[in-house]
Amino acid sequence: MLNQPHSSFAYLIEGQASSLAASLVLPMPDSNEFCMRLSRFPVDGTETILDLHTSGSRAFVTVTRFLYSLRRMLQFSTYSKSKVITEPLIEISISECDGNDPLIREILSKQIFDIESNLSDKREDNHYFLFFTDSRKCISAGISNPLDKLNEQWIRLINRSYGTELVPPRRKLRKHSVVP
């Protein structure tokens, strides 16, 4: 466990990415709807945030893709509060998705509220974050290098997210300044 978890690199990159990502659509309390955000911060490649939510009988997926690695931008910059790091290119896509999508089935059929958190504070690790609410209770968890830890529940979520990510068409770019 981290001594100061919110000062770790994993939390730094998650905070930056979430501040730039598409808005999260939270369900009304006790509405029987859900909302999930899975954030992927791989060492190699660019970061992706995948949001799923329901509205009535419909399910929607929103994908925020960083077209240039946010990790690299953070690593090669100073952390001055007054200095703008750079302007990342962000692509946001949204679409309705099948309620039987493998990722939706995974989060609704498994013990999602029992998912393990096991983050490291190392910059060179792959970091993943999950937020989920079923409109009654919620969970927030994070893990680093789930393959090395043989954490099947995280591995299943992450693997299924790659297929769900392909559902919405790629269409909208946003340019933002990042201020730590």
CATH of the domain at 55: 3.30.1560
* 52-102: pLDDT as tens digits: 999 999 999 999 999 888 887 776 665 444 344 556 688 999 999 999 999
- The verdict on residue 84 lying in a domain is yes
Q: How far apart are CA 141 and CA 165, in angstroms?
A: 20
Q: How far apart are CA 21 and CA 39, in angstroms?
A: 10
- The verdict on residue 146 lying in a domain is yes
Q: How many domains does the chain have?
A: 1
- The verdict on residue 25 lying in a domain is no
* 124-159: pLDDT as tens digits: 999 999 999 999 999 999 999 999 999 999 999 999
SS3 74: helix
Show the tokens assigned to 141. Answer: 């968890």
- The verdict on residue 4 lying in a domain is no
- The verdict on residue 11 lying in a domain is no
Please report, to the nearest 10 degrees, the dihedral formed by the alpha carbons of residues 54, 56, 59, 61 taken in order. Answer: -50
- The verdict on residue 165 lying in a domain is yes
